[in-house]
Amino acid sequence: MRIPDHFVEWSDEIKAYCESNGLSFEKARKMSRGFDRTSVLLGYYDPNKKSNGLLDDTPMPAVLLISKEPDGSLKFEQTEHTKKYLT
Amino acid sequence: MIQGIDSPIEKRNSGMGRPNGILTFGTSLNVRQRKLLEALPEFDSRVIVPRNSVNMKDLSALTAMTGDEFAMFTGGGRRLVIRGNYYMVNVSPEEAADLAAKGYKWSGHTHPGYDRWCLTPSQGDKDILKAFDQELSVVYNSMGQYRTFEKE
């Protein structure tokens, strides 16, 4: 079963979070997305960087993790890469 | 069904074959996983097995046991499983395109690690997905947790 695109589902709250934390929602929207059932992880994919497939499987920079809490609220976790790629 | 004395609770819930049990409690692989690992003794070992004989949780268990990455490709009722090492699998974008031409899809792969951050796909993961012209694939960690990721 395909996991729904939480970024689209939660876009209003993500936009509000970005605006109140000095982050660019437009940049966030263009980030690479990875999903599980309760979260979406934004990562930075460099379109100009040539990779060697699975021969270089170093995870791309994780930029922002957004998770649904049991009470229904969203939890935002920034990383050391957040400011660099979302401002 | 009444459980007999030969099937105590601790035996029924041994965690055998479960990634989290292997990692946390040092339980063993199940018989199916052991046979698979025997067929994949070292980096770049490859094996083709029937589709219903292995799934991504099995690869996660193998990663919990060995600390190595594993990748799986599915086509025509078969699965190709490739063993990597702790940071890569020997599959280039060119080989991925070749596998795609042979009718394989990329079912998923593993990243050794214990938290959700290690489920971040790599630049190379996305490029392999593009080589297969596939919309999404999945990455599992050593705990059996997973995250799907998309081509775009």
Check residue A2 and give its pLDDT: 63
Sheet containing A32-36: which strands, arranged edge to edge? Answer: A74-78, A62-68, A39-43, A32-36, B146-150, B136-140, B105-110, B70-75, B78-83, B46-50
Q: Which residue among A33, A36, A57 sits closest to B122, beta carbon to beta carbon? A: A57
Q: How far apart are CA B150 and CA B152, in angstroms?
A: 6
Residues in B closer than 8 angstroms to A41, CB to CB, are: 116, 119-120, 147
pLDDT tens readout for residues A27-81: 999 999 999 989 999 999 998 888 899 998 889 999 999 999 999 999 999 999 9
Listed residue (A2, A1, A3, A6) closest to A76, CA to CA: A6
Tell me whether A52 touches chain B (CB under 8 Å): yes
Confidence grade of residue B4 (pLDDT, cut at 50, 70, 90): very low
pLDDT in tens, B23-78: 888 889 999 999 999 999 999 999 999 999 999 999 999 999 999 999 999 998 99
Cα separation, B50 vs B69, in Å, equals: 21
A38 touches chain B (CB under 8 A): no
How close is the nearest chain A Cα to the Cα of B10, in Å? 30
**Chain B residues closer than 8 Å to A32 by CB:** 121, 126, 149-150
Closest CA to A10 of A61, A60, A65: A65
For residue B92, the chain A residue with the least C-alpha distance is A53
Of B3 and A51, the structure prediction assigns the larger pLDDT to A51
Q: Is the pLDDT of residue A4 over 70?
A: yes
**pLDDT given at position B17:** 87
Greater model confidence, A44 or B16: A44
Token reading at A3: 């996991």
* Cβ–Cβ contact B150 with A under 8 A: yes
pLDDT tens digit string along B79-90? 999 999 999 999
Which of B1-15, B53-67, B113-127 has the highest average model confidence (pLDDT)? B53-67
Burial of A43 (0-12, 13-18, 19+ CB in 10 A): buried
> What would the two tokens of residue B29 be?
């692989």
A58 in reach of chain B (CB within 8 A)? yes
Nearest to B79 by CA among B37, B107, B100, B98: B107
